[in-house]
Amino acid sequence: MSGNSMAIGERDLEKIGDYVESRLPQWLEKISHESGQRWLFAADRALFERVVRIEEQLVSIERRMDERFEQVDKRFEQVDKRFEEMNKRFEEMRKDMNSRFEDMNKRFTSTQWLIGIMVTLFMALNTAIQLL
């Protein structure tokens, strides 16, 4: 580099950028007007406005989708709670049925013994009658 070159600082670059940014629309309009293509600048502006509207719509759609996803998540949580409640009820029913089956099994066993004793007594009585 030559010794006469001037170092440009960050602040200077920011000032230049701000200046160019503030003047750029005017320059573009002037260039399009001078070249006879003013319609291009208007079309660019219309496209820019359209892009902005589309971006706003996309943001709105994204927001609505987020809300709906939250609603779906809440609904799934409710369904999960219902399933848990049903599982608890089924578990209680199973325990109740097990205790009923145990009671029935005890009754059946005692009935079997009673029938067995009665048959034995009848056979013994029948044999005793035949022997006499």
Q: What is the pLDDT of residue 1?
A: 44
Please give the pLDDT value at position 38.
58
Which of the 8 DSSP states describes residue 9? P
Calculated CA dihedral for residues 103, 109, 113, 115, nearest 10 degrees = 90
Domain ranges in the chain are: 11-131
pLDDT number for residue 51: 85
What tokens appear for 78 in the block? Answer: 């409710």
Model confidence over 68-79: pLDDT tens digits?
A: 999 999 999 999
Side chain identity, residue 85: E
- Tell me what pLDDT residue 102 has: 85
Helical segments of 1-132, H only: 10-34, 38-131
Residue ranges in the chain modelled with pLDDT below 70: 1-7, 32-43
pTM of the model: 0.40
Residue type, 48: F
pLDDT of residue 131: 86
